[in-house]
Amino acid sequence: MLEVPLGAIMCPMGELNERLVAELVDAVRLQLRKEAGERLRDLYLIGDIEKDTAKSCIERLRDLANDNNRPITLYINSAGGNVTDGLAIHDSIRHVISRGIEVTIVVQGMAYSMGSIVLQAASEGRRLAFPHSWIMIHEPAKWAGWQSTTAAAQHLERLKQMQDQIYKILSARSGKPLRQIIKDTKRTDFYLDAQKAYEYGLIDKVVAGELEESQPTAIDSKSATPPIAAVETARQPEAAHERSTETVHAGKAGQAG
């Protein structure tokens, strides 16, 4: 409900001054912002995925889910981070979806490493990306931070379990067989732009927003100067003749030497 300043109610219309009008305008703006905030069901995962960002994201997600069952949108721009924190976000999203709430995830910028796994948590058909976004997947051992042989050996069993979990998530959502996921990510970072990510199955749609190509302006063919390409084409025979003449002269010079 719009809260009208008390002075505006008690003061006759003819005595309204600029201050009261400004107060009325501010009250209307405040109410509009409040209503817009209630309608807005967005959350953001920006930066590295670690304990604090995961905590904030999950808390916001649960607050929105507990308010009502309207759809939620998560915008992600992350180079990745901790495996367990990323999986915690992924599982929290899937839990909200299991309650009948649609969750859309939109990549704006990048979803690398664990960011690409969080992306896969979205509702069916709701993994989106802006045209100039990038998605990257790679070997789960890198995500776990166990790149040295010694560290990997110490945590071999847990590493294998995490690898299996992540590979299964990527395979299930992309439709690619496990062997291809493993092949594409083994010992390399597999980068895909938005269109390639769509073709690979990591997203469901590229969000509109690509700049349109400029169209050539129509000109009068009688008065217009020939296009550059046409001029260059017309000049080619003459240039070729000049080059052949130079070649002959050069050959004669060589003979003379």
Q: What angle do CA 43, 205, 76 make, to 5 degrees?
A: 25
Give the burial string for 44-53 (b: 16+ CB within 10 Å, else e). bbeebbeeeb
DSSP 8-state assignment for residue 4: -
Is residue 113 annotated as a catalytic residue, yes or no? Answer: yes
Q: Is 142 helix (H, G, I), strand (E, B) or coil?
A: helix
Beta bridge partners of 127: 105
Q: How far apart are CA 9 and CA 148, in angstroms?
A: 73
* Active-site residue identified among 90, 92, 116, 138: 138
**Cβ partners under 8 Å of residue 45, min gap 6:** 53, 57, 74, 75, 76, 77, 78, 89, 115, 118
Q: Is 77 helix (H, G, I), strand (E, B) or coil?
A: strand
Among candidate residues 78, 113, 123, 133, the one labeled active-site is 113
Closest CA to 138 of 120, 160, 163: 163
Is 138 known to be catalytic?
yes
Give the Cα separation of 206 and 53 in Å (integer). 26
The residues annotated as belonging to the active site are 113, 138
